[in-house]
Amino acid sequence: MKHIINKIIFFIAVSIIFTACDNRELETLDANANTTLSLSQSSLVLAQFDDGQEVLTATWTAPNFGFNAAASYKLLIDVAGGDFSNPKTIAIGNALTKTFLKEDLNSKLNSLDITPNVATDFDFKVLTTLSDYSSILSEAKTISITTYPAILDLSTTWGVVGSATSGGWNGPDLPFFQTNVNNVYAAYVNLTDGEIKFRENNAWDLNYGDDGADGTLEQNGANIAVTAGSYKIVLDLADLTYTITPFSWGIVGSATPNGWNGPDVPLIYDEYSDTFRAIVNLTDGDIKFRQNNAWDVNYGDTGADGTLESGGDNITITAGAYLVTLNFTDPDNPFYTIENTKIWGVVGSATPNGWNGPDTKFTRDFSSSDEIWIIKNITLTNGEIKFRNNDSWDINYGDDGDNGTLELNGANIPVTAGTYKIILNFSDSANPTYTKE
C-alpha cells in the first residue's frame, strides 16, 4: 500500500512540473549582452577653486540579457592604455549615471599616480554584475583631463597665542588658515581654560584682542577669556571681528573603539587638502560622522556611493586600518573616502610603553604626496627603538648600520634620552629611510 501511495505522489509531482513548464517560456541569458558608456565631455581642465561644480557625467545603457535582470554597476577608471588590474573603482548601485563634482573627480584621478597640471588620457569602463558568477565589462571611453595638485597651501601669517594654547604666551602660535573669502581666516584648535589673543608672524608687533568682550577686535586689545574645549575660530580682518564656536568632527559607530556612545574618533583638520582626516583601526561594523560628539549634526551615506546626507544611513565597514577623509569644501555636497593604509608606530625600551606597546603612533605628512610619516614631539629615554606596523611584529624595521637607512627586521636603533622629531620616509619603498632630531 505504501509503495502505491509513493507512485501516486511521484506522478502528481511530475504532472505539476510539466504543467508549470507549459505555462511559461524558459528564460535564457543572452551571451552578447553589453552596455555602452558615454561621457558628457571629451576633455576637461580642472581648476583648484570653486568647489562643488559638476564637471563630468557618465551614462550607460542597461544590458539586454534577454530577460529582466537586477544588475548592479561599478565605474572603473584607469590611465589610458592601462590593463585595469588596479583601477579606481566607484560603486554605483543600480543607477545608469554618475555625475562627478570637480574636487571628487580630481581626488580620484590623482590617486592613479599621475602628474597634475599635465593633460592625461583616462579610460573609463562600466562593470555590470548580474550575480557573483556573471559580469560584463564595457568598451573603454577615453577622455583627456588635466588635474590640479591635491596638496594645497592655505597657510597664513596669523596665529592664536595665549595661556590657553599648547605653546603658551611665548608660542609657537596655533595657525590660522585661508578660507574662500579674502581676509577671513579659520583656526581649528584645542584650548584649555585661560586667555588668548591673535597676532601675526609669532610676534607682538601686530596683535589683536577684544576690549569689550563683544566679538570686535582692537589692536593691542584685551586678552580674550576662553574655557577648555575644541573650537573653530574665524578671524575677519576686513571687519575686525571674530567668532569662537565649539567645533569638532568625529567618527562614531560599532566599528570604532568606543562604539556608538563615543567619545568619537577625532578627525583632524588637514590644511593641505582642506579636509578632516583620521588614521584609524576599525572593526567589522558601521560608522557615521558627527559634530561635537553629539547627534545634533550627523552624516551617513544613504546611497553607499561616497556622498553624505544629513542623518543618512550607517556606513558599513570591514575590519582594517584606514585613512578616513571627510570633505566639506562644498557644504551642499559633502563626501568622504575610506582608504586602506598602514599605521606606523615607534616601539622599544626608550619609548613610553616599552617593547610591548601600544606604540607611539606616527601621523601622515600630508604636505607630501609620498609615504612620509612623522612624530613631531616624542620624549625618549636612554634605550633602543624600532618602527613597526599596527602594533605588530609582522612588519617591522630597524637599522643594521645605524646610518639612517631602514632594513626589514633590522637591528634595534640606540637612542639617548631627549625629545625628538622622527620622520619615516617610505617614498622609495625599496629603500626606506628615517631621521630623528
Contact status, residue 384 vs residue 412, Cβ threshold 8 Å: yes
Query: Which of 164, 186, 162 has its CA nearest to residue 175?
Result: 186
Chunked into runs of 10 residues, the chain (437 residues) has average pLDDT values of 42 39 43 85 86 90 75 94 92 92 90 91 94 80 92 92 97 94 96 98 98 97 98 98 98 98 96 93 98 97 92 96 91 89 96 96 87 94 97 96 95 97 93 94
Residue range 155-246 forms a domain whose CATH class is mainly beta
Note the residue count of the chain. 437
Contact status, residue 287 vs residue 252, Cβ threshold 8 Å: yes
- At 354 the three-state DSSP class reads helix
C-alpha to C-alpha distance for 33 and 343, rounded to whole angstroms: 44
DSSP-derived secondary structure for 39-51: ES-SEEE--SSST
- pLDDT value at residue 53: 86
- pLDDT value at residue 130: 80
Alpha carbon distances (Å) from 39 to 78, 141, 194, 223, 265: 15, 7, 56, 57, 39
Contact status, residue 251 vs residue 260, Cβ threshold 8 Å: no
431: exposed, middle or buried (C-beta count within 10 Å: 0-12, 13-18, 19+)?
exposed
DSSP 71: -
Beta bridge partner(s), residue 102: none
25 membership: H or E segment, kind and range: none
- Can you say whether residue 193 is alpha, beta or left, with left for phi > 0 and alpha for psi between -120 and 50 degrees? beta
Second-level CATH architecture of 37-146: Sandwich (2.60)
C-alpha to C-alpha distance for 213 and 33, rounded to whole angstroms: 70
Contact status, residue 409 vs residue 398, Cβ threshold 8 Å: yes
Contact status, residue 437 vs residue 421, Cβ threshold 8 Å: yes
C-alpha to C-alpha distance for 76 and 123, rounded to whole angstroms: 8
- At 189 the three-state DSSP class reads strand
Is the CATH number of domain 249-339 2.60.40?
Answer: yes
Query: Which of 425, 322, 331 has its CA nearest to residue 372?
Result: 425
CB proximity list for 93: less than 8 A, separation 6 or greater: 72, 73, 303, 304, 305
- Can you say whether residue 101 is alpha, beta or left, with left for phi > 0 and alpha for psi between -120 and 50 degrees? beta
Query: Which of 269, 265, 273, 271 has its CA nearest to residue 290?
Result: 265
Which sequence spans correspond to the domains of the chain? 37-146, 155-246, 249-339, 344-436
The dotted CATH code for 344-436 is 2.60.40
- pLDDT value at residue 166: 94
- pLDDT value at residue 412: 97
Question: pLDDT tens digit string along 387-415?
Answer: 999 999 999 999 999 999 999 999 999 99
C-alpha to C-alpha distance for 79 and 295, rounded to whole angstroms: 41
Query: Which of 105, 118, 94 has its CA nearest to residue 57?
Result: 105
- CATH topology identical between 249-339 and 344-436: yes
Contact status, residue 127 vs residue 135, Cβ threshold 8 Å: yes
Strand (E) positions, 70-109? 72-79, 88-93, 97-101
Residue found by looking up cell 634605550 in the block: 383
- pLDDT value at residue 7: 40
Dihedral sign of CA atoms 194, 200, 202, 203 in order? negative
Question: pLDDT tens digit string along 266-322?
Answer: 999 999 989 999 999 999 999 999 999 999 999 999 988 899 999 999 999 999 999
- pLDDT value at residue 5: 42
Let me know the angle formed at the C-alpha of 341 by 335 and 344, rounded to the nearest 5 degrees.
130
